[in-house]
Amino acid sequence: MTDYTMTIGGKAVTAATTFDVINPSTGGIAGACPSGTADDVNAAVAAAKEAYKTWSVADDEVRAQACRDMSAALTEHADELAILLSLEQGKPRAGLGADFELGGAAGWAANTAELSLPVEIIQDNNQAKIEVHRKPLGVVASITPWNWPLMIGVWHFAPAIRAGNTVVIKPSPYTPLSTLRMVEILNTVLPAGVLNVVTGPDSIGPVLTSHPDVAKVTFTGSTPTGKRVMASASDTLKRLTLELGGNDAGIVLPDADPKEIAEGLFWGAFINSGQTCACMKRLYVHDSIYDAVCDELAAFAANIPVGAGSDANSVLGPVQNATQLALVEELIADAKANGGRVILGGERAEGAGYLHPLTLIADAKDGMRLVDEEQFGPVLPIIRYTDVEDALASANALSVGLGASVWSKDLEAAKKLALRMESGSVWVNGHGGLNPNAPFGGVKQSGVGRQFGVEGLKEFTCMQTLHA
Ligand code: NDP
């Protein structure tokens, strides 16, 4: 038996079997998740399709109020959800942890309420009147990952619902419980069938993303999976928003003050223990301040407590799952074997759970796996450069481009360089900060489409041009 249920058509649905969700802080069991089947996916899509009939024509203000109500419900249940999120995801509640994620989720839902897509008048004269209307698409499938499951869930379904679509969300099997509970709570303020959730084995994801009654897939996860989702969507030409992996570069210019930027560099790289799509994942530092930046960063990082999510003293938590931990360890071992110099962390202490110390690898080089591949964990390679054009070429050399940053006292010079970086977002003297009104997404193989703000809302609509 499980305390957690899927929500389909506004009703709690159990499954014949469950699977265990692991608490990454301890290696123990966080809870039992319903192991839904293809039949559950079909039932959820059918419920969403039925609800779409009325939700798609509901008054705009009704849909805006639904987003406000979702925000209020998330705030009301923030404590309970943060505890559950911390338990299964591993992140502590403090700092930029579980409480921050719940605050972000509620804030994003509230912000979405205030977005609007008014009718656009293209021409209005005695020859013609032409208007462009934005209409919802239908049933949206949302596939979410394990790093920020609640916030990313809201990023997917709030704009979808605001625009008049209905949703079936399938969370990652690593962190499904908080999403199950979140959707159960949100169903107290939404009409039945507008937001449904299914959980289960890996086989149900493709059932959802290829379902003929799904009009759009919004996916956050890895680039290889994003490609599979794109392929499975092609049969019925589903609309897609794909927010995929990155390998964000930061470039520190020679005039930067190492002490001043250390804190920003740290959080840019290590928020959520490095398990964030737009984390800084490789840092290029000018030779003239290379050692000073390494020292300042190591000094700052050494004071950040890493521990179990349930420990009130922890500021950062474990790697979320064993597969990811194995990848992080593999990349560190490869870096060490190829001349990387560990200046902080490096070795995991034996023990339960997936805790890994914050790790800085100096003397890293392009071509090392830790630099070229996305580590998605608490380790940052630091690469020395002498010519900024070389650093820029390295930053732009990979097939991904989600975020990037430039660090300098000279804002104009930094902005000029920033605009030459091949990424969907670029920051000056910061990395990874998001704003609900600022479009976010990748270039190259980091994704398709944009989330947030009016641009993000448009992705959940199609245009209808009215010639009257
Ligand atoms: P995946 O991209 O494999 O999975 C993300 C989600 O997609 C999960 O819910 C997964 O569920 C689902 N999924 C997988 N295959 C399909 C499919 N064919 N059709 C529909 N849904 C599918 O991420 P992982 O959890 O395996 O992590 C691997 C790597 O992804 C990490 O190392 C990291 O680099 C990157 N990542 C990026 C994130 C980001 O925010 N951009 C977030 C998390 C990870 P199921 O497992 O049931 O198939």
pLDDT, tens digit, 9 for 90 and up, residues 305-345 = 999 999 999 999 999 999 999 999 999 999 999 999 999 99
pLDDT, tens digit, 9 for 90 and up, residues 22-50 = 999 999 999 999 999 999 999 999 999 99
Do residues 400 and 247 touch, judged by C-beta distance below 8 A? yes
Looking at the domain that runs over 248-428, which CATH code has it been given?
3.40.309.10
Q: Is 243 a catalytic residue?
A: yes
pTM > 0.85:
yes
> Which positions ≥6 away from 429 have C-beta within 8 Å?
261, 264, 405, 406, 407, 408, 411, 414
pLDDT, tens digit, 9 for 90 and up, residues 192-237 = 999 999 999 999 999 999 999 999 999 999 999 999 999 999 999 9
Res 349 pLDDT > 90: no
pLDDT band (50, 70, 90) for residue 107: very high
User: Does 15 sit in the ligand 1 pocket, CB within 6 Å?
Assistant: no
Q: What angle do CA 92, 94, 97 make, to 5 degrees?
A: 60
What whole-number distance in Å separates Cα of residue 220 and Cα of residue 157?
12
User: Does 252 sit in the ligand 1 pocket, CB within 6 Å?
Assistant: no
CATH 3.40.605.10 segments of the chain: 6-244+446-467
DSSP state of 283: E
Gap from CA of 172 to ligand 1 centroid (Å): 7
Please compute the mean of the pLDDT values over residues 77-99 and round it to a whole number: 97
Res 2 pLDDT > 70: no
Confidence at residue 275, expressed as pLDDT on a 0 to 100 scale: 98
Provide the strand spans (E) within 231-324.
239-243, 248-252, 280-286
Q: Which residue lies with its CA nearest to atom 8 of ligand 1?
A: 172
Torsion angles phi and psi, residue 132, rounded to 5:
-115, 120
pLDDT, tens digit, 9 for 90 and up, residues 275-295 = 999 999 999 999 999 999 999
Gap from CA of 166 to ligand 1 centroid (Å): 22
Res 363 pLDDT > 80: yes
pLDDT, tens digit, 9 for 90 and up, residues 393-423 = 999 999 999 999 999 999 999 999 999 999 9
Confidence at residue 1, expressed as pLDDT on a 0 to 100 scale: 43
CATH 3.40.309.10 segments of the chain: 248-428
User: Which of 30-39, 77-86, 347-356, 361-370 is least confident?
Assistant: 347-356
> 6-244+446-467 domain in CATH 3.30.70.1140?
no
* Percent of the chain whose predicted confidence (pLDDT) is above 70: 100
Confidence at residue 223, expressed as pLDDT on a 0 to 100 scale: 95
Residue among 21, 222, 379 whose CB has most ligand 1 atoms within 8 A, to mutate: 222
Confidence at residue 351, expressed as pLDDT on a 0 to 100 scale: 80
User: Does 35 sit in the ligand 1 pocket, CB within 6 Å?
Assistant: no
User: Does 148 sit in the ligand 1 pocket, CB within 6 Å?
Assistant: no
